[in-house]
Chains A and B, each alone.
Chain A
Amino acid sequence: MSETSPILKVMQPAEIPDAGLDLRTEVVIVGSGASGAVMAYELSRAGAKVVVLEAGPYIPSSEFQEHTQTAFETLYQDHGNQVNTTGDMVVLQGKCIGGSTVVNTAACFRPPDQVLESWRTEHGLENLSPEVLAPYFDKLESNLSIHQNEPHEVNYNGRLLLEGAKKIGIPASPTSRNVKNCALSGHCLAACRTDRKQSMLVTYLPWASELGATILSGTRADTFEVRDRRITAVNAIATDSTGRNKPVRVEADLVVVAAGPIQTPLLFQKNKLANSSGQVGLNFACHPSLAVFGEHHGPVYAWVGATITAHAGEIENPLRGGYLIEAAMADPVNTSAATDGGVGRDYLDFVANSKNFQSAITLIHDHNVGRVFLEDGRKRIEYDIDDRDFESMREALRGVARIYFAAGAKRVYLPTTRRTTIERESDVDSVINSLTNGKHKYRLASYHPQGTMRMGADPKRSVVGPDGRCHDLDNVYVPDASLFPSSIMVNPQVTVYGLASYIADQIKARG
């Protein structure tokens, strides 16, 4: 085993014979993202023979181009076009070796204690207390070089957020990230070209590979073979670059479905499994996010530097209307996608000024009102903003606008589908109060789908038990973001890593 630089070996579809593959293993893991990768390493470390099936391609960092659209096309689910059924919210997920961790913006938060407490009282998850989870988070934070941004990692955009928030008394601080010696390229969303973001592609997957795990890319799990209360084999389809499909069958003692909060419930629905509670695919939440821009008199260059630098808001208080504001980079594509700069001349002026924009996104603790299902074989993500959540969104918008004006902005652009600006601080309340909830009124994005395979102690109200095992099946575990019984408001990767690591321990303890 190499001490310094473990090698990630991936079997790509072109290497699979036309007749396909028939494998036998101890553990098969569907999905190589945040949860799948942690499980692959932890179970390999415990001596298990592991096979990982990943639907997306293997793209090494040397091929990343730091170009937003190219990244959408090659690294994201549905080429970045995955939307809710209404069509007014893009739901972003990575689809590649490493999953969403390859394209995420590296912000790291532990789940708020208040959220874990509500999981205990409302969902019977006595086991997931902050004290129990703390050693898992400590380990992950060390393994993934998670640290609070140092002064040089907070760009002018981030400093403006910190200064503005301080002036009006909103708590704010530099954000923590899983980045090692960040090159400050501003291209997190297009994947890290220089391997500084400690995504699963450069950490847990090479580590699992080094310990003997077999990792297949371009191989989509499709059906399960079931006997009694066990999945005995996963049938997958490997598709090579010419479009040729090759069957892959993996027989296993233990099955981990870590395909993420959209695909995991769809797989179980398609296979009509694990759904005695009727909850598979329900309880979808997603932290609907809005981007807000504040125009300053001079350049801010929010796209220069780290992608997420600082944050503001009552993050320990999600259940009492808290919200989170994150200073975020915005390149011309993201700026144009996130707010309406107008059409014709107005739009040209808007983008020409965009270097002067202060930029941030908002996150809220939304209710689990959505559902994911198949309709005539087509994926549907039914989710519209609930009126209660709209109030939290307005509160967050009010917070951002006030911070921007306190930081010296002369105008604020709101994330509406029809250009809406606030021209002076004294107009903040009246403009924001005039906003109403409705479809196709806001430029919504979700980076954090969650909740569709709810974890809980009661098999009638949840799909997965407190140890991560499906209530209805004896050898099937789900460790991904679909577990979350409620949304957590903060960026979820650390919670996903922590839960996956905890669930791996439950599997090990079971023997």
Chain B
Amino acid sequence: MAHALSLLDEPTLEEVRVGFKLFDYGAIVIGLHFRRFVNLSVERRVAYVHRWEKGVEIQRGIVDLLKKLTYLGYWKDIEAARAIGYQGPVSVEGGIPNLGNAPMPPTGQEP
């Protein structure tokens, strides 16, 4: 996740920071859990996420971004993907030769 965030430009990153803070601290007030999201039990976290999924536009946006960044981070490790049957890279491993650049087209082509 930290790596994915590091690829954002500064103004976007700032918006994301504010959004995630709202999500985390929102659990205290909006969620009426009186604790930050990070301190909730797993069951309550899941319930809180579901509530934001059904929330207003900004809530939907924040929770969706959070999920996407989590997936990106998680699947970066190709071994995680292999565990569910995904092949990962194949060409070098399979010894598939490079074709190289295509030959020049015939001269005098029309149009």
Which A residues fall within an 8 A CB radius of B?
1-8, 61-62, 65-69, 73, 78-79, 81, 86-88, 135-136, 139, 142-143, 145, 180-181, 183, 185-187, 193-196, 198, 202-203, 206-207, 210, 299, 301, 303-304, 331-333, 336-337, 340, 343-344, 351-352, 354-355, 378, 417-418, 438-441, 443, 501-502, 505
Contacts and interface: CB of A to CB of B under 8 A. Distances in A.
Nearest to A502: B111
B84 A417 contact: no
Q: Among B80, B102, B103, which residue has the most Cβ atoms of chain A within 10 A? A: B102
Interface stretch (B20-28, B30-38, B58-66): B58-66
21 contacts: A3-B103, A66-B92, A67-B89, A79-B7, A81-B8, A135-B111, A142-B105, A185-B96, A193-B98, A194-B91, A195-B99, A195-B100, A198-B102, A202-B102, A207-B104, A303-B86, A332-B80, A340-B64, A418-B54, A440-B57, A441-B60
A411 B27 CA distance: 33
Nearest to B53: A418
Interface residues of B, number: 47
B46 A440 contact: no
Contact of B101 (A5, A62, A136): A5
A355 B92 contact: no
B100 to A, nearest CB: 5
A332 B101 contact: no
Given A66-B89, A333-B72, A7 B101 contact: yes
Contact of A194 (B9, B81, B99, B102): B99
B57 A438 contact: yes
Contacts of A1: 104
B111 A136 contact: yes
A73 B8 CA distance: 11
B9 to A, nearest CB: 7
A65 B89 contact: yes
Contacts of A183: 90-91, 96
A501 B99 contact: no
A65 to B, nearest CB: 6
Contacts of A443: 64
Interface of B: 7-9, 11-12, 42, 46, 49-50, 53-54, 57, 60-61, 64-65, 67-68, 71-72, 75-76, 78, 80-81, 84-92, 96-105, 109-111
Contact of B111 (A8, A65, A69, A505): A505
B97 A8 contact: no
A3 B49 CA distance: 61
B96 A194 contact: yes
Contacts of B46: 343-344
Nearest to A443: B64
B101 A344 contact: no
B85 A301 contact: yes
A66 B75 contact: no
B75 A336 contact: yes
A344 B64 contact: no
A185 B91 contact: yes
Contacts of A439: 57, 60-61
B90 A4 contact: no
A2 B72 CA distance: 43
B90 A187 contact: yes
B53 A417 contact: yes
Nearest to B63: A417
Given A66-B91, A143-B105, A439-B57, A343 B50 contact: yes
B7 A81 contact: yes
Contacts of A81: 7-8, 12
Contact of B75 (A185, A333, A505): A333
Nearest to A354: B84
Given A143-B102, A180-B102, A351-B84, 7 more contacts: A65-B89, A139-B109, A145-B102, A183-B96, A203-B102, A333-B71, A417-B53
Contact of B86 (A78, A331, A505): A331
Given A136-B111, A187-B90, A3 B104 contact: yes
